Each structure stands twice: as structure tokens, then as C-alpha cells.
Amino acid sequence: MKKTIRDFDLNDKKVIIRVDFNVPIKDGIITDDNRIRESLETINYAIENNAKVILLSHLGRVKTVEDKEKNTLEPIAFRLSELLDKEVMFVDETRSEILTDAVNEMRAGDVILVENTRFEDLDGNKESGNDSDLGKYWASLGDIFINDAFGTAHRAHASNVGIASILPSGIGFLIEKELKNLDIALNNPDHPYAVILGGAKVSDKIGVIENLVNKADYIIIGGGMAYTFLKASGLPIGASLLDSENISFCERILKEYPDKIILPIDNVVSTCIDTPTDVREIFINDIKDNEIGLDIGKASVKVFKDILKDCKLVVWNGPVGMFEEEVYSGGTKSLLDYLSKLDAKTIICGGDTASAAINLGYKDKFTHISTGGGASLELLEGKELPGIKVIGEK
């Protein structure tokens, strides 16, 4: 078992918490503060236990000097201060005497937010490349390290693996909750157990299918990736997304698990993604050569619901249509609505599916909505995440 923040005496200690404040920001305004809210439990626990709290987070990618301006954590410091109802000192540097001095002057209960860790990527990819000097410097600021950034736990960066390799370390409440819920999907499933997979590419989901096909009773497939499976079963797919390198993978899975793999029987199609003027809802067989399948149709939704209705566990990764466009969002919305009312454990993973669920107002209607797209996918593939592997055992 991994150590958690509860396993440390935090009193008067400098506690570095790696949080995930990678929130969408438009014109300096945070448009969705969900990730900040998700980290409050751990931060508040540290404050209540008299720690000196030093927060590290990345925001977006920083490849140019202009990216720095767009990706400063300053607006996040303001929002965090409001949410915590206490002062948050923002240090607009990632490595300097100013930062070291600010940390040395902290008193118990103080909170410092350090500037975007990825500013260190500008000069030689030091954060993302887990530069050992950078890890050592950040570790020198604290006594204890807590990783609570699930969204980057599948990456070995200086701000997680680098620091945790040096300081006594544990996980925060958010990562603890993620691991507990995803463990249900991996090691402790209730049956019948259905996995819904969607999104663009088969290649991204091969590892998940391989790992879950023997654990789940059904793998329901929608989205762009369904078309490679449909092609592999000999059906026409028009101009829909095709992952031609993985047709043979789909053929094998369909042959080995004919009753487990559930594919759409109808779809919403158009000849042009950008100008949806000739949208039709048709059975799969009726697709014309120049038409692109962009959502599952109502008959597929019905087939999927018939399977889901008796399920005791449903894990979902990837939208079943190009849900960003209203005309192609019907399938994803119908399934979200249905699952939100289902008497079953429901786990929503992956950036797109999770943000669709939250934006449509279903935040509290599921057993768990994962905060990490890539990280949850890698866990479902059965991989160990480097940002968690490095954490001390109890």
C-alpha cells in the first residue's frame, strides 16, 4: 500500500504538494475550475495540520516565450485564494533565490503557489525530461512530498518523480480516490460489467481492450474507433475514420470474443464534418462511399441501453460521437443520461468523456469521474504509473 498524506506528521513541516491545476483559461479567465476544487481536500488537510504548503503544478505546454504569458498560474492563485478563503502567495519563478527565501520565511498554515513547472521546459525540457538538478532543487524546498496530480501521474517529470525520489513521499486524497475507484474496474468488478469505449482511434484503446476483455462481460464500442471494427466485420464504412493498421487486431478480437464486442447498428452521417448540411441517420449498411459516420444512431443507443440496464458496473472511456458538434452529440448525451440514472457503479474516465459529463451537469451522478485522461487509460491498460510507483510504501 502506498503512503498517503495521513501517514505523515505535517506539523510545522514544509510540505510540497504536486497538484493538477491544468485548467482551461481564456483571456485570463478560468472557464472551468473543477481541477482546482478537486485538490482542495488535500490542501485544506495540510493547512489544518499546520503544514507550510508549497504547491507545484503545470499548466498547458510551454514551448515558446509567448506560451509563458498564456500559461502563468497567477489567475489560479487568485481563484485558489477565494476557494480556500485565505491568502495564497504566488511566486512568479520556478527556481530562484526569491522562491527559496519565500519558502524559508513561511509560517505554519501558509500557502505558496509556485509558477508553472513547465516554464522549466523552455530551456532544455527540464521539467518534462525529469532533470535531476531541477528535481533536487524543488526537493530542497520541502520536508515531505505529496503527489496529488493524477492527470500527470503517467509521466515521469521532475515535479513528481524527481522530487519523490528524494523526499519522503505519499499520495493525496485525490489520487487515493482515483486509485480506489479504478481498482474496482481492474481487480474488483461487480458483474455484469460493461466497458464503453469511444473516441477517435483504435490504436489508443488496444491496450485497454486487451486488458479488460477478459474481466468485462461486454465491450461496447462507439465513436470513430467503431468503424475499424465495423470494417473488420465486413461492413461498409463510407469515408468514416479507419485505422487501417489495426484492422487485423479488430478481426482477431471479434473472432475471439464474438458475444462480448457490441458494435453500433446505425449511425448519424454527413458528407462533410465542418458543414453538417446533409446529415442523415441510417443503418450501418446504408452508408454511401462519401459519407462519414459521426455519431451512433438511436437504434444503437437502444441496443446499448438494453445491455447496460442489468449491468452492475460500467466503465466508460471516450465519446461515442463527435460530441463537440451539437448534431453529433446525441449518442454521447443519451448514454450519459441513461448511466446517470442507472443502479450500478459508474466510472467515467478520459478527458473528453469526463468534461462532457461535467459540462452537461452530471458531476455528482456517477460513482467516479476521473480527473486524468491519459493516466486513467494507462491504469485501465494494467500499467503502473511512474508518478505513483515512486511513492513510498507503508
Q: Which residues are catalytic?
A: 35, 201, 351, 374
Chain centroid to CA 355: 9
Q: Which is nearer to ligand AMP, 90 or 323 (CB)?
A: 323
Which 66-105 positions form the footprint of ligand AMP (CB under 6 A)?
Answer: none
What is the DSSP code (8-state) at residue 130?
T
Determine which residue in the list 142, 170, 189, 223 makes contact with ligand AMP, applying CB under 6 A. 223
Nearest-angstrom CA–CA distance, 72 and 59: 7
Which 315-374 positions form the footprint of ligand AMP (CB under 6 A)?
Answer: 318-319, 321-322, 324, 350, 352
| Contact criterion met (CB below 8 Å) for 26 and 43 | no
- Residue 162 found at the interface with ligand AMP (CB under 6 A): no
Determine which residue in the list 55, 111, 195, 241 makes contact with ligand AMP, applying CB under 6 A. 241
CB of 323 to ligand AMP, least distance (A): 6
Number of residues counted as binding ligand AMP (CB under 6 A):
17
Determine which residue in the list 3, 70, 86, 201 makes contact with ligand AMP, applying CB under 6 A. 201
With 0-12 CB in 10 A as exposed, 13-18 as middle and 19+ as buried, what is 158?
Answer: buried
Q: Which is nearer to ligand AMP, 158 or 349 (CB)?
A: 349
Q: Which is nearer to ligand AMP, 3 or 280 (CB)?
A: 280
Residue closest to 269 by CA, chosen among 256, 278, 260, 258: 278
Nearest-angstrom CA–CA distance, 358 and 340: 11
- Residue 293 found at the interface with ligand AMP (CB under 6 A): yes
CB of 228 to ligand AMP, least distance (A): 11
Grid cell at residue 314? 460500467
Determine which residue in the list 108, 200, 213, 247 makes contact with ligand AMP, applying CB under 6 A. 200
- Residue 135 found at the interface with ligand AMP (CB under 6 A): no
Sequence-distant (6+) residues with CB within 8 A of 313 are 184, 185, 189, 190, 191, 192, 193, 194, 344, 345, 346, 347
Sequence-distant (6+) residues with CB within 8 A of 171 are 2, 3, 4, 5, 146, 147, 148, 179, 388, 391
The residues of the shown chain that bind ligand AMP, judged by CB under 6 A, are 198-201, 204, 223-224, 241, 293-294, 318-319, 321-322, 324, 350, 352
